[in-house]
Amino acid sequence: MSTTLLLLFSGILIGTGVSLIWRDVHKRRRSAFVLERDTQAEVAPQLDVEITIARPGDSAKPGSLPARVVALANLGQSVAAEPASAALDSQTVVQRWNAMQPMFGAALRQVNLVLAAARVEVSGPGPPSRSINGAYGANCRLLIADENVGSLRLQVTIHDQVHARVKAHGKEASAINLSASVPVHDMSAARASDLLSEVLKPAAAFALGTPAGEEPEQRASKMAWEAVDPIVASALEAANGAMAQASSRFVAIGPPAWDTQARRHRVTVAIQVMRNEVARMHIERVASEMEVAVGVPDVRLVGLGRRRRIALQGITTHALAELIAECAWPAIGHFRETQGAH
């Protein structure tokens, strides 16, 4: 993290015209929304479907990039592969890992200060676990523009090495994948920072290499959505099968798209009963949850709107399909009752 690297990275940012703007993540929360195409509600305000979950401890404020930023975007040479050595027993590996915790904590704090300029953040280590190769360590979430796009695995191997590996959740972000190792006896807080900086260089480069016309936040949201898109598509198909007996169906209005107001990707779905559109639904990923929100065409029917969330961890097609049907049923039932459907 020398002065030369700091100045070099600043030059890269200035030369490419990078400008990252922080936004306030605290938004007002509403229970339902009214479609903008409503012409009957003349005096009622349009309700917003936006709900944002702020990460604990997030106190970022709008501002410009620091004058000097560590050159994490410059790809470098990885540390050499682990040398052959006598394998450590499992208890010693755990002891080595526990001894590394203060160094990892200090290194993560230091690196996150630098990565903030590119809207990249690494969370603290989760619960430790043993890998299939006998190594012992923990995973950290890797966020780009508040979206979880990959993980950082930190562990101590049976060959007495500290191993760091970045792995993307999807193919689009595979450019961030990188790993490196250093001997345990060489470790210090400064060396741990160097190791993390090494494996996170591609992630910083990826965040800053956003195509023209696309914000880093938009790109990260797209990657996050691609990880859940197959589940959403399957859940809509399953829900359609279940709702056929009620002469109802869910029809996606175009592919998932970036919403400039909600600041994330979502798919908009028309809720139809006997080929009549009675409401619309938004399905989107919000941090570690999936959200389903139903909006009505008339503010007088706002009580029929629903907004529910389900955790992504362990989510199944069946569970999401049930949530879709549950949120849509009030609007479907109301139309069937008023139209005398049987």
Residues of the chain with pLDDT under 70: 1-85, 210-216, 340-342
Q: What per-residue confidence (pLDDT) applies to 218? A: 80
The sign one gets for the Cα dihedral 100, 105, 107, 108 is positive
CB-based burial, 294-325: b 16+ in 10 Å, e otherwise? bbbbebebbebbbbebbebeebebeebbbbbb
Strands 289-296 and 33-34, by their bridges, are: parallel
Query: What's the pLDDT score for residue 126?
Result: 92
DSSP H or E segment with residue 99: helix 90-115
Q: How far apart are CA 10 and CA 73, in angstroms?
A: 10
- Say what the pLDDT of residue 33 is: 58
Instruction: Look at residue 281 in the predicted model and tell me its pLDDT.
Output: 95
Distance of CA 248 to the CA centre of its chain: 32
Predicted confidence at residue 155, as pLDDT, reads 95
Coil, strand or helix: which one is 90?
helix
271, containing H or E segment: strand 264-273
Q: What is the pLDDT of residue 294?
A: 94
Q: Where are the domains of the chain?
A: 86-214, 228-339
The Cα-based distances of 38 to 3, 19, 278, 295 in angstroms read 58, 38, 12, 11
β-partners of residue 137 are: 129, 155
| pLDDT single digits (tens) 102-122 | 989 989 998 888 788 778 899
**Per residue in 176-227, pLDDT tens?**
999 999 999 888 888 888 899 889 988 888 887 766 566 667 877 887 888 8
CB of 284 closer than 8 Å to CB of 265: yes
Structure tokens at 263: 């600041």
Q: CB of 70 within 8 A of CB of 102?
A: no
Closest to 284 in 3D by CA, of 273, 296, 295, 276: 295
pTM: 0.47
Q: Report the C-alpha gap between 106 and 268 in whole angstroms.
A: 44
Residue 194 pLDDT: 87
Query: Could you tell me how far CA 139 lies from the centroid of its own chain?
Result: 15
DSSP bridge partners of 168: 150
Asked if residues 323 and 312 have their Cβ atoms less than 8 Å apart, the reply is no
d(Cα 102, Cα 125) in Å, to the nearest integer? 12
Q: Give the whole-angstrom CA distance, residue 171 versus residue 203.
A: 14
